[in-house]
């Protein structure tokens, strides 16, 4: 029985969705790096990645597009290269695409366990708070030049990047745990799982919108 014809397991993660996630995260990093470097330069601190400065100086949007495309293509190539060597029983949980929904005969509904759903919602809510706090410390100065100079100001200014990264990590965990809970347990009562999964996605979308507003030229 081939991989495509075998009955798919209940818990799966499509590789196409993982590639999309890599594109989102790489785009966020491409936004963040120039902002962090500009803030360090204003404070007289050495750049973290001086070799990247010529790439984004004066053409940030090209840098963001190239970073996103490169990271996405690299992720897809790594998955394509490594996946054939992964054991079949593991590979079944990571198909290239999610299998189509097949209507089957009625069966006993799966059990309901609210723990995973509540963890997903808690992680997503905590991530939203962390991202909002981080965004509240961001300042964009356009008074001297057209390209904004982004800095951090406030009581937690030294921890803005830590807060943002923690928020993104918790958002990813909320989406993974929420999706697991939706697939594993009874969807009729899994409102917290849906909330955690949806709020995790909204955190990433909100971050992109906030960064677009901050770096609006």
Model pLDDT for residues 115-170, shown as the tens digit of each residue: 888 898 899 999 999 999 988 888 877 666 666 777 788 888 888 888 888 999 99
What average pLDDT does this structure show over 101-107?
53
- The answer, yes or no, to whether residue 9 has pLDDT greater than 60, is yes
Spatial distance between the Cα atoms of 171 and 205, rounded to a whole number of angstroms: 11
Q: Nearest to residue 75, comparing CAs of 135, 26, 138? A: 26
Distance spanning both ends of the chain, measured CA to CA: 56
Question: Higher pLDDT residue, 31 or 202?
Answer: 202
Angle at which helices 60-82 and 15-42 cross, to 10°: 140
Question: Higher pLDDT residue, 161 or 12?
Answer: 161
Angle at which helices 191-214 and 160-184 cross, to 10°: 150
Band the pLDDT of 7: cuts 50, 70, 90: low
- The answer, yes or no, to whether residue 26 has pLDDT greater than 70, is yes
- The answer, yes or no, to whether residue 10 has pLDDT greater than 50, is yes
- The answer, yes or no, to whether residue 105 has pLDDT greater than 60, is no
- The answer, yes or no, to whether residue 212 has pLDDT greater than 90, is no
- Check residue 189 and report its DSSP letter: G
How far CA 153 is from CA of 22, 71, 74, 135, 150, in Å, comes to 30, 31, 36, 10, 10
Mean of per-residue pLDDT scores for the chain: 78
10 Å Cβ neighbour count for 127?
Answer: 27
- At a CB cut-off of 8 Å and minimum separation 6, what does 109 contact? 186, 188
Per the confidence metrics, is the pTM higher than 0.75?
A: no
């Amino acid at each position: 029985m081939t991989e495509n014809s075998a009955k798919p397991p209940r818990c799966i993660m499509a590789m196409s969705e993982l590639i999309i996630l890599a594109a989102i995260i790489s785009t966020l990093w491409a936004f963040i790096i120039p902002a962090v470097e500009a803030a360090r330069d204003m404070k007289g601190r050495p750049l973290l990645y001086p070799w990247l400065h010529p790439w984004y100086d004066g053409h940030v949007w090209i840098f963001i597009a190239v970073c996103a495309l490169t990271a996405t293509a690299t992720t897809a190539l790594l998955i394509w290269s490594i996946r054939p060597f992964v054991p079949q029983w593991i590979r079944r949980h990571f198909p290239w695409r999610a299998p189509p929904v097949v209507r089957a005969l009625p069966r006993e509904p799966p059990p309901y366990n609210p723990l995973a759903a509540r963890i997903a919602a808690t992680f997503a809510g905590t991530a939203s708070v962390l991202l909002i706090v981080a965004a509240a410390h961001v300042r964009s100065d356009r008074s001297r030049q057209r390209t904004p100079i982004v800095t951090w100001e406030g009581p937690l200014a030294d921890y803005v990047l830590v807060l943002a990264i923690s928020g993104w990590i918790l958002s990813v965990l909320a989406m993974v745990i929420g999706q697991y809970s939706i697939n594993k347990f009874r969807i009729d009562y899994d409102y917290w799982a849906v909330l955690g999964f949806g709020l995790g996605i909204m955190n990433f979308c909100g971050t992109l919108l906030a960064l677009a507003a901050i770096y609006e030229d």
